Amino acid sequence: MVRAVAIVWLFCGIRRDEIRRQRVGCVQRQTRDMGVPASNEVLSKGSVVFLNVPPNKTTPAYTKPVDPVVAEVIEAWEQLRTTQPLMLDAKAAEVVQYLFAHRGRLLGMAFLNATLIPLLWRKAGVPEADARGKLTSHRARSTIASMLGNAKEPLTLLELQQWLGHRWPSSTQHYFQILPTKLGRAYADADYARRNVRTVDVLIDEQAILSGAAAKGMPWKYFDLCHGMCANPFYEQCPHRMACARCPFYRPKSSTLEANAKGAAHLRNMTQMQQALTLTEDELAAITEAPSSSRRSSTSL
């Protein structure tokens, strides 16, 4: 019985009062493959067992999936368990056959915290307290909730709410602790810093520099926007990069650099380089969500 209580405590995520009030026949094995509603997926035979949880302080009785090891230890205890007298479950207002009863007495409310958990401390060789405080019966419930929320295929908040038997999602959020490593992986996958960086071709007019024209205020640095040029040397800091056509620094290629020989010669005299730019969210969205017909003209940003 003690072994069954320990496994139920560790793997089922239920309160200590729900553990002690479990009834005989509370586990149901999955004897065949079952289709998952509203999907083409199949829950294979033996993947989980279902545990009937008695009414608690916030919700009526419900059924939840648990690990098959729970069924193994409960069935082992039911085979050894002697017949006990029926007892009243005040919360359910009915007479039931309690699973964890012995010699006519129900498992005590203090059994987990005063007897079982200290026994497990000694067997495992772990301290009775850690950074979060003393290990109590509620620790297993919060731990398994965090594990299910941080799994490779995690439960959603609503799924975890139903699994824990909470009435309100706000109650579940207290248990839904994201591990630092999972948060770090999510941050790395977001790749925020690098996804907002693009390179743009920069043309340097060496003749304007050598002749001294640049020192007199003549443009000498041009950012290639594919559809035109920007002569603003501080283009990477310009807050109006999405409205270049209206900017006095803008040089449309079609009229000045490509449509006539003078513009083409001017372009040949330039040295081509590249410069990294950090894009705003609007600029990034304009690039990544641009239609195929205009995407080519935007990819230089």
Q: How confident is the model at residue 197 (pLDDT cuts 50, 70, 90)?
A: low
Question: Cα(13)–Cα(258) distance, rounded to whole angstroms?
Answer: 71
Q: How confident is the model at residue 150 (pLDDT cuts 50, 70, 90)?
A: confident
Supply the pLDDT for residue 41. 81
pTM assigned to the model: 0.61
Mean pLDDT of 178-184: 72
Joined together, the tokens standing for residue 240 give 């109006």
Nearest to 14 by CA among 68, 50, 53: 53
Q: How confident is the model at residue 268 (pLDDT cuts 50, 70, 90)?
A: low
Q: What is the DSSP letter of 153?
A: S
Q: Which residue has the higher pLDDT, 103 or 270?
A: 103
Joined together, the tokens standing for residue 229 give 């040029």
The residue ranges of every structural domain in the chain are 2-135, 193-295
Mean pLDDT of 154-181: 84
Task: Establish how many alpha carbons lie within 13 A of residue 191's alpha carbon, considering only the half-sphere containing its beta carbon.
Answer: 5
Instruction: For 115-140, write each residue's pLDDT tens digit.
Output: 999 999 999 888 888 888 888 999 99
Question: Cα(287)–Cα(149) distance, rounded to whole angstroms?
Answer: 34
When the pLDDT of each residue in the chain is averaged and rounded to a whole number, the result is 79
Joined together, the tokens standing for residue 76 give 């082992």
Question: Cα(143)–Cα(132) distance, rounded to whole angstroms?
Answer: 12
Mean pLDDT of 12-41: 87
- Taking 60 as the threshold, does the pLDDT of residue 265 lie above it? no
